């Protein structure tokens, strides 16, 4: 599915404990690699907040909400997420449904 066609996105805002950025990134990438292989999972982007040092945001497109539920209800989800959470001071997950699309020139 082309990235502009996803109907649902999950996002997470992550703030690792001081000095834990590298360990967090490694654990988060392992988690993301696992999730990317699940049915309905799409492309993901990890970004670093430019105005808040040490804060990261991840965006992942999903085919539909059923795919998101399947991911979160997977038997391995909690264990794999806990490997990431051990390095995290603050975490805020969000699930977003697309309600409109804008076409740019690029």
Does residue 6 carry a pLDDT above 50?
A: yes
Q: At what angle do helices 21-36 and 77-85 cross, to 10 degrees?
A: 160
Does residue 3 carry a pLDDT above 90?
A: no
- Segment 39-60 shows an average pLDDT of 93
Does residue 92 carry a pLDDT above 70?
A: yes
Share of the chain above pLDDT 90, in %: 83
Dist CA 79 CA 74 (whole Å): 10
Share of the chain above pLDDT 70, in %: 95
Local confidence band at 106 (pLDDT 50, 70, 90 cut-offs): low
């Amino acid at each position: 599915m082309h990235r502009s066609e996803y109907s649902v996105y999950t996002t997470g805002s992550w703030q690792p404990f001081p000095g834990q950025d590298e360990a967090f990134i490694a654990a988060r990438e392992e988690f993301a690699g696992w999730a990317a292989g699940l049915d309905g999972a799409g492309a993901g982007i990890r970004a670093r907040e430019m105005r808040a040092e040490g804060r990261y945001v991840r965006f992942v497109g999903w085919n539909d909400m059923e795919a998101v539920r399947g991911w979160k209800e997977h038997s391995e989800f909690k264990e794999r997420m806990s490997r990431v959470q051990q390095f995290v001071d603050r975490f805020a997950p969000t699930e977003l449904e697309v309600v409109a699309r804008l076409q740019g020139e690029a």
